[in-house]
A = this chain, B = another copy of it.
Amino acid sequence: MTDILIVEDNKELANLLCDFLRMENYTVSVAESGEKALSLYEKYGARLVVLDIMLPGMDGFAVCRKIREESNTPILIVSAKTGKEDKLNGLTLGADDYIEKPYDIDIMLAKISGIFKRRYGVDEYVCGDLRINKATRTVYKNDVQLEMTAKEFDLLSLLVENKGKALSKEYLFNQIWGSDSFSEQQTLTVHIKWLRQKIEEDPKNPEKILTVWGVGYKYESI
């Protein structure tokens, strides 16, 4: 998964920001259009999307809406207009923050680092009787450590990060396996099953990882 997906049709600007971000050790990819952005996002996922609103073709708001439909991935809106409507629009669509163009690169970097800290800097997610530590990649249930394989841990993390949100099977698969294979469905469901056996009191009647029929799965919101 890429750290940051930059959506910006001005190549020069995109490359500049890209360089700065790479100096801070983020992995970065760039899309010049809304369509490209969505296809990159579908395929490889991203931990943050820096999204210019003024794009040729599909505009930034549409991209924002699409991404929000399937996940809570943080979105930082970049807008040239100073109009209040753009900001309001972005915020109500679920963007995490916005910045005006032209922006000061230091402010941009500070905002980005802030978003990462807030969202991913939390080493430990606590959900009911589970404690999930992303830094050490360990999971504790009532202070007893559960052994997790790599895929199991990634899957659990993804579900917990989007706690409460129904995530489509397709999204889950693409985020963890990177792109589409043939019998993706089965592979995912098998891993879900193993996860449930490890974390649920009664794996037959799951109370943490819930099935959303016709869609996918979600982690209980409480």
Contacts and interface: CB of A to CB of B under 8 A. Distances in A.
Interface of A: 72, 84, 87-88, 91-92, 94-97, 104, 106-107, 110-111, 113-114, 117-118, 121-123, 135-137, 149-151, 163-166, 212-215, 218, 221
This chain: how many copies in the complex? 2
A6 B185 CA distance: 45
A118 B150 contact: no
Nearest to A133: B164
A165 B135 contact: yes
Contacts of A149: 213-214
Contacts of A123: 94
Contacts of A106: 84, 88
A162 to B, nearest CB: 9
B72 A91 contact: no
A205 to B, nearest CB: 15
A164 B72 CA distance: 19
Given A87-B110, A91-B110, A136-B218, 19 more contacts: A72-B118, A84-B106, A84-B107, A87-B107, A91-B107, A91-B114, A92-B114, A94-B117, A95-B114, A121-B163, A121-B165, A135-B165, A135-B166, A136-B164, A136-B221, A137-B166, A137-B212, A149-B214, A150-B214
